Every structure is written in structure tokens, then in C-alpha cells.
Amino acid sequence: MGATTISDLARPSLTKGVRLQIDSTTGKSVLLYPEGIVELNETAHDILSRCDGRTLGEIICELAEEYEADSNAIAVDVRHTLSDLQRRNLIEFK
């Protein structure tokens, strides 16, 4: 699935076995999964901490509000981040 084709109604969630937590050494967010660790930037953290059953559309709206930014620009970033993580099997869409 390409970044632009993800529907606003899709509900992203962490793939089974993937955990989001704070790395107490750095204070940053990390994704932990079998044999792997991904350090997340703040935007990725803000997106992934909302992947709990909310739709993509809802996540984009909330972030646009929080960042006081244009929701079209936010949508591009969010889709890009999520499709990258989906390609690495770290998130899935339901």
C-alpha cells in the first residue's frame, strides 16, 4: 500500500509483538520488537502513541490541532511515517 492510498478510515495499530516505550537512558520513545529497536523522533512518537483504535483521519486532526498546522501538510507526514513503519511490519491497518 502506497503512502497516499491509506484511507482516512483505516485504524493503524502496532503489529503483534511490537512494544512502544520510553528508553529511560535517553528519555526518547522506542519501538521494541524481536531482535530490533527503532528510536523514534517526536513526531513518530506523537503518531504512534495515538495508534490505539483511532482512525487515521482522527489522528491527523488531533495532530493538526496540537501542532497548530495545516492538516493537509500533517496528513502527508503522518501517511509517510506510517507507511514506512508498515513496510517494516511494525504497524498494521485494521
Partner 1 sequence: MTVPRPYALLAEITYRCPLHCPYCSNPVAVESAVSSGKKAGATALRNHTTTHNGELTTQEWKRVINEAAALGVLQIGFSGGEPLARPDLAELIRPAREAKLYTNLITSGIGLDDDRLRALRDAGLDSIQLSFQSDESNLADEIAGAHAHKRKVDVAAKIRGAGIPLSLNFVIHGRNIDRLPQIIDLGEALGAERMELANVQFYGWAFRNRAALLPTREQVNRARDVATAAKARLAGKIDIFYVLPDYYETRPKPCLNGWGQRYLTVNPIGDVLPCPTASSAIPDLRFENVRARNLDWIWRESESFNRFRGTEWMPEPCQSCPQREIDFGGCRCQAALLTGNAALTDPVCEFSPNRARVDAVLRETNLSNRPHDWSYRNNPKPSPTSSSIALP
Q: Which residues bind partner 1 (CB under 8 A)?
A: 15-17, 19, 21, 23-25, 30, 32-35, 37, 86-87, 89
Q: Min. distance of Cβ 56 from partner 1 in angstroms?
A: 18
CB 40 within 8 A of CB 50: no
Q: What are phi and psi of 46, to 5 degrees?
A: -65, -35
Cell numbers at 30, concatenated: 522506542
Largest interatomic CA distance in the chain: 37
Nearest CB to partner 1, comparing residues 35 and 68: 35
Nearest CB to partner 1, comparing residues 4 and 89: 89
Nearest CB to partner 1, comparing residues 30 and 64: 30
Q: Min. distance of Cβ 58 from partner 1 in angstroms?
A: 24
Cα–Cα distance measured from residue 8 to residue 22, given in angstroms and rounded to the nearest whole number? 28
